Structure 1
Amino acid sequence: MASIYKRPGSDVYQCQFYVSQPEGGLKKIRKSTGKTNRKEAMQVAVELERTGQGAIKAGSDEGQRAKGILAEAVSEVERGTFNAAAARKYVARLLAVATGEEMPEFSVEGWCQEWLRRKARDSSKGTMARYKTSIESFLLHLGARKVKPLESVTMANVRAWRETLQDGGRAGKTVNKYAKDVGSAFRAAIREGLITSNPCSALEAVSTEDSLDRKPFTIGEVVSLMTAAPSTEWRGLILAAAFTGLRLGDASRLSWSSIDLASKTITLVPSKTKKKKREVTIPIQPDLLNFLESLEIDDDSPAAPVFPKLAMIADAGGSGLSKAFEKIMKKANVDRGRASRETGEDAKDVGAGRVIFERGFHSLRHTFTTWLRTAGVAEEDRMALTGHSTRGSHAIYSHADAEVLHKAIAKLPSLTESK
């Protein structure tokens, strides 16, 4: 490594370093840095050493081989046969000469699958399902072009794909999510040095005016849903979702190990943030507490589900919990709200997009949040209760006080008083 020093009577730093000779051995090099500041002189010394070593290297076997490769490339340019494929070929050969490493090459499909594999290590099951859907949709649109080099994808390719999603009936928010996922794969490729630009980045987001916002239920509607529920487990599940904001999967598979009746809290890691191990603690609202205390607890199975029968049923599907809840809504005369598009036979068309309504089981989560906001609970406390972390590093560095959260839950309405 280069070193610096001053000659007697001089304020200018000199530098000294060694470079390897092509025939073997080392050669000592001494030069003036032209700098009187030590830090600046050291920077110059490092650069002089790098340049000196490069000059010697150019005369080595590796340097001569590199010159030969460049000469071949120039010859192709002159013949008019130099293209992107040729450029990749020559750069790969130069890298092999300089470092002995092979330059990674990916097709569009190959990189997308590699990206999915890496994301699976840190993403939840639900998030991965979305990533796979987005990537598979894009690759299906590319068809035979998916086996072409990664850098062959253009902005026009991405725009055409987005338009097919819109024409197929998918809402604007869904289209933007798909494009964001695919764009993330290309951004990762840029960081790897595989491509230089992201074909998704220059596209403006599509309009979301056709997208639906989830709507909450009123207190009366929640009471009607519980009345129409076909079993005690279903009544408890609706009650739990309304007063904890838990998503369908987390609420239906809630276990007794997550419940502390003494401290009146529910503590768990929601499935959506399982990879990040982001735990939430929710004080138990009085109506929900009364229900839980009325149930028999198996002391021999502390991890048993609170709703054992419902915990065995899948969330989605024709016979899943979501469909069952739709039937409960119909029986309770609770309106599902506006549909994302016209329903009918076309709702089963391949690629048309799933028909969603403004209100469903997830609306209970919106109901919980709406009740908290209506009761004047601060946004930070609402985020702590719902497990949201949309404000940057809030979830990592901000911790809600347990007493504050208990007071927040105490502000929620009572279903028994509304009857």
Structure 2
Amino acid sequence: MGRIKGAGFVYLKPGTTAWYWRVQVGGKRIARKLNAKNKDEAEKEAQKLAHIASVKSEEEVAVFAARSRKVIKDAEPGIELDKALKLFEKSPKRREAGKQRKAQYQSIYTYLTAFLAVSCPAISTLNEVTQGIVEEFAVKLKKEKGARSYNVYIGSLKTIFTTLLPDDKNPFDNIKKQAENPISSNDMTTEQINAVFAAADGEMALSLMHRPEMAVLFRLGAYTGLRLEDCCILKWTAVNLSQKIITWVPSKTKNSSGKPVHIPIHPALEKQLKTATAWKDESGYILPGVAERYSRNPSGIRQDAQKVIHWSLWKDKKEGIYPPKPDGKYGFHSFRHSFVSRCANAGVPMPVVQAIVGHSSSLVTRIYTHLADSTVRQIINALS
């Protein structure tokens, strides 16, 4: 019998040639057969497993106990954590994804492996990630991410595990999505929109990554009605400054109708786009810094946009005093609502606005119906 310093001991099972390693893990005694022919080889193999002795998580204890009982079969090859993402990207079972989505998978999977490295350091394969571990991960995720980001993370990881593991092995299957707060339907007035522009341009004292690009981002939202994602990843190939028009297939309908929208370029936006040519690079993005960050951390862009909007609309601005946490009344999506409302109030026909923001958008119908109801009410009230 040979003792491994701080990590159990190795022994030869009586009446056999099999060497085993025994260790106390989380209050439970676990024995594991080693691939060794003699004591020296057994001790070397045991040293490789010494980190298991530091395991404290009940879930990890369960994993190693299961291994020792052959519940996790040796015949079932494990997918190493550091190789899983590459296997996922090459899998024919995976749905085709664009560059932005691939980067998002990378960022989300890295977030998971970072969690595993701290919480479950003994785990080395995807197959060892149990539902209990995933539940602990989900608790941490809820604390650090909003409902929308939480759902994206869980959905993406579920896709990765479903693609790589057998149908009955996905630990994310029973993790429920969170209820998302409905997107703000509050329009912003022209004065409020201008206040947001001023804050992004430098009036706001709070720090802001890629501030010059973010200033253009807000103009794109206000003058095109595009969603945040599309504004972040818009490319120069979509912009025709000579004809003053933007032609773009929105991300939301890219895999369904695939129809492009054609948006006239407002003079104020044209000025901002000309400013943006100063940082034009080989990526082709109008906002290269914002696009790169959005691919890794979309919630970071969304939160910064929310921060600027909330600060600009805060009525009690005082130097050195920051506003309370945003209440969600206004957000980047408010630009889209305001765009449609301003078009409606200016008398732009509904089919024209639908062609700009997308025919499938229920937002246009809702706003125009509300406008029509108001008009009818005014007429009725005017009757003598």
The two structures have a TM-score, normalised by structure 2, of 0.48
**Larger-Rg structure:** 1
